[in-house]
Amino acid sequence: MPSWAPDWQSINRTTPLDYLIAAAVAEDDWIRVEGDVLGTAGRPLPHLQVRGWVVDEVVAHSHRMETTDFPVRHLAREQAKEHPFWLDSVWKIEFPADEAPGHGALVALETLSLALSFGIKEANQRVSKAGLNQTFEEHHQSFATYVMEYHKLWKNFFEAGEGGDCLPSRSLFDSLPVDLQRTLRWRAEGASSWGFLRCMTWPSMCRVVYRTASALVGVGSRMTRPGISSAA
C-alpha cells in the first residue's frame, strides 16, 4: 500500500493487523534504521530506510474512514453522520461520474470488499485473530447484504423526499447492470451483513480507499494522496 511506512511522529489511530505471513527478519540489507532507536531525550528522531519498487501511482482517494461511518441504521442516523452514504462515496473513487460501471463491476465490488476487510479464511489456512474468519462465500453474502441495506436506506430517503445534500443521485446498487443486481440479490437472500461489518470495521478505521492510475483499488494510510507512488 502507498505510504506504508508508519508516521512515527503521529498518534497511532490505526489498528495493527494480524497478517498470516511471517514477520520480516530483524535485520536486512534493504531495511535499516539510522539514528537513536531508544528515543533518548534531546537526540534527533531515527530514520527508517527501506527499499521498494514503484508499481503504480495514486490518482484519487476517499475521506478518512471512521467507525461511525459504517453502520446502516435509519434516516436520522444517516443524516447525522459526518460522511453519510460512505459506501457510495467510496464507490465513486473506483468509478468516477464519467465512468459507468459495466460488467466488470462485480469484480471491482469484490476487490473493494476484500480490500476493506480482514478475516477471510478458506480450508487449510491459518486462523487469524482479526475478524470472523469467514469463507469467501460467507464474505460475498454478507457484503451483498450490506450493499442491499444501503440501497434500501437510499430508497427510503428518495421516497420520503428527504436527504438533501447527503442523498446520492442513485444508490450503488442502482448503478449496476441488471444481471449484477440479480447476483447481489441472490447472494443477500437469507444472509446478514454483520459478518462483513465485523471483519472490516477495525482494518478500515482511519484509513482511506485509493485508486491508482491503472484503476486498481486498495486501502492505504491516512497520509495517502494523489501523486504518491504505490510501492511494493
- Of the segments 62-71, 107-116, 180-189, 217-226, which one has the largest average pLDDT value? 180-189
- β-bridge pairing 217-220 and 47-50: unpaired
More confident residue, 52 or 85: 85
**33 within some domain:** no
Which DSSP state fits 47?
Answer: E
The pLDDT value given to residue 2: 46
The pLDDT value given to residue 230: 52
Alpha carbons 207 and 31: distance in angstroms, whole number: 24
**22 within some domain:** no
The pLDDT value given to residue 14: 53
**165 within some domain:** yes
The pLDDT value given to residue 1: 43
**112 within some domain:** yes
Question: Taking 50 as the threshold, does the pLDDT of residue 3 lie above it?
Answer: no
The pLDDT value given to residue 170: 86
Give the total number of structural domains in the chain: 1
**1 within some domain:** no
More confident residue, 13 or 91: 91
Question: Taking 60 as the threshold, does the pLDDT of residue 20 lie above it?
Answer: no
The pLDDT value given to residue 142: 93
**117 within some domain:** yes
For the chain, percent of residues with pLDDT exceeding 90: 19
Mean pLDDT, the chain, integer: 80
**34 within some domain:** no
Alpha carbons 80 and 47: distance in angstroms, whole number: 42
Task: Give the global pTM.
Answer: 0.77
Domain that holds residue 196: 54-231
- Written as one string, the DSSP assignment of 156-186 is HHHHHT--GGGS-SS-TGGGS-HHHHHHHHH
**199 within some domain:** yes
The pLDDT value given to residue 34: 82
